[in-house]
Amino acid sequence: MASLLSFKEAIAHIKSALECTTQVETTPLGQALGRVLAQDVISNIQVPPADNSAMDGYAVRLRDLENTDTLFVSQRIAAGCAPTPLAAGSCARIFTGAEIPAGADAVVMQENTEQIAEQVRFINPVKLNDNIRPAGQDIALGATVLAKGKRLSAIDIGVLASIGITEAQSFTPLRVGVLTTGDELQVPGQPLAAGQIYNSNGPLIESLVISAGHQVSLRTHAMDSVEATESALKNLSECSDVIISSGGVSVGEEDHVKSTIEQNGQLHLWKIAIKPGKPLVFANVFDTPFIGLPGNPSSTLVTFHLFARLALAKAAGEQLDLPDPIPVTCAFERKSNKSRDEFVRVHVNHGVATPHAQQSSGALLAASQTDGYLHIPAQQDVTLDSQFDFYPFNSF
Ligand X SMILES: Nc1nc2c(c(=O)[nH]1)N[C@H]1C(S)=C(S)[C@@H](COP(=O)(O)OP(=O)(O)OC[C@H]3O[C@@H](n4cnc5c(N)ncnc54)[C@H](O)[C@@H]3O)O[C@H]1N2
Using CB under 6 A as the binding rule, the residues of this chain from 337 to 376 that contact ligand X are: 361-362
> What is the C-alpha separation between 361 and 304, in angstroms, rounded?
14
- The reply to whether 192 sits near ligand X by the rule CB under 6 A is no
Q: Contact between 103 and ligand X (CB under 6 A)?
A: no
Q: Which stretch binds ligand MOO (CB under 6 A): 118-126, 193-201, 276-284, 367-375?
A: 276-284
In the DSSP assignment, the letter for residue 359 is -
Per partner kind, with CB cut-offs from 5 to 8 A, the member of ligand X, ligand MOO, none near residue 297 is: ligand X
Among residue numbers 149 through 178, which ones bind ligand X (CB under 6 A)?
A: none
Please give the residues from 335 up to 364 whose contact with ligand MOO meets the rule CB under 6 A: 361
Interface with ligand MOO by CB under 6 A: which range of 142-150, 272-280, 306-314, 317-325?
272-280
DSSP state at residue 46:
-
With binding defined as CB under 6 A, does residue 202 bind ligand X?
A: yes
Q: Which helix (H) or strand (E) holds 260?
A: helix 256-264
Task: Work out whether 197 is an interface residue with ligand X (CB under 6 A).
Answer: yes
Question: DSSP assignment of 104-161, as one string?
Answer: --EEEEGGGEEEETTEEEE-S---TTTTEE-TTSSB-TT-EEE-TTPBPPHHHHHHHH
Omega into 327 within 30° of 0, i.e. cis?
no
Output Rg (C-alpha) for the chain, integer angstroms: 30
Among 103, 149, 173, 276, binds ligand MOO (CB under 6 A): 276
Name 329's bridge partners.
352, 387
- Total residues contacting ligand MOO (rule CB under 6 A)? 8
What DSSP element (H or E) covers 312? Answer: helix 309-315
Q: How far is the CB of 54 from ligand MOO (least distance, A)?
A: 56
- Closest CB to ligand X among residues 25, 184: 184
Range 179-198, binding ligand MOO (CB under 6 A)? none
Q: Does 229 bind ligand X (CB under 6 A)?
A: no
Residue selected from 214, 219, 278, 305 as contacting ligand X according to rule CB under 6 A = 278
Complex with ligand X: residue 4 or 346, whichever CB lies closer: 4
> From CA 390, how far away is CA 374, in angstroms rounded?
5
Residue of 382, 279, 390, 281 whose CA lies nearest to 343: 390
Q: What mask, x for binding ligand X by CB under 6 A, covers residues 237 to 276?
A: ---------xxxxxxx------------------------
Minimum gap (Å) between residue 161 Cβ and ligand X: 42
Which residues does 130 contact at the CB level (< 8 Å), separation at least 6? 106, 107, 108
Least distance from ligand MOO to the Cβ atom of residue 166, Å: 48
Interface residue with ligand MOO among 170, 220, 299, 370 (CB under 6 A) is: 299
- Say which DSSP state 97 is in: T
CB of 32: closest distance to ligand MOO in angstroms? Answer: 38
Q: CA–CA separation, 99 vs 103, rounded Å?
A: 12
DSSP one-letter string for 234-253? HHHHHH-SEEEEES--SS-S
Q: How far is the CB of 36 from ligand X (least distance, A)?
A: 29
Q: Does 278 bind ligand MOO (CB under 6 A)?
A: yes
Contact region with ligand MOO (CB under 6 A), list: 72-80, 106-114, 292-300, 344-352: 292-300
Our finding on whether 294 is near ligand X (CB under 6 A) is yes
Q: Residues 292, 296, 297, 298: what is their CA dihedral angle, to the nearest 10 degrees?
A: -100
Q: How many CB atoms lie within 10 A of CB 150?
A: 19
Give me the residues that bind ligand X (CB under 6 A), please: 180, 182, 184-185, 197, 199-202, 246-252, 278-279, 294-297, 299, 361-362
Contacts with ligand MOO, residue ranges (CB under 6 A): 275-278, 294, 296, 299, 361
